[in-house]
Amino acid sequence: MQLKNCWDLGAKDELFISVVEPEAQKINEIRNYLEHKFINIKAIDITNSDREKIPDITIDDLEEKTLHLAQMAREALIYLSATIYQEECIKNENLSLLQELKTKS
């Protein structure tokens, strides 16, 4: 069974991200800096005007956002597992109906 009218999961729709999960925008920004650029992680929140071009985040904020991201990933895996189970049940039901029809003919 193919998904119809399915959005690209990698699509960068800012409105969608901000509505569905507002925290996801900030997490995505942090991930992007960690992966492609540089981010300054500080023990406490003290602004350093010399480094305004380099974004920073406190350890507590990073831990909070990491836990939030892990919870979102867990939820996504649960939904995926439930969807696969449902699709397998439908497939098995269709196969058993097909076998019944074959035995009746």
33 and 75 in contact (C-beta within 8 Å)? Answer: no
Q: 52-101 pLDDT, tens per residue?
A: 566 777 888 888 888 888 898 999 999 999 999 999 999 988 888 888 87
- Which domain, by its residues, includes 40? 14-104
In a domain, 92, yes or no: yes
How many distinct structural domains can be found in the chain? Answer: 1
User: Which of the pair, 43 or 37, is modelled with greater confidence?
Assistant: 37
What pLDDT sits at residue 95?
Answer: 85
Query: Residue 30: pLDDT band by 50, 70, 90 thresholds?
Result: confident
Please report, for residues 45, 51, 85, 86, the alpha-carbon distance to residue 92 in angstroms, rounded to integers and kept in the order given. Answer: 56, 60, 10, 10
This model's pTM is above 0.75:
no
Closest to 41 (Cα-Cα) out of 18, 65, 23, 24? 65
* Residue 77 in domain: yes
CB contact set of 24 (below 8 Å; sequence gap of 6+): 17, 72
Sole residue written with tokens 């895996």: 77
69 in a domain, yes or no? yes
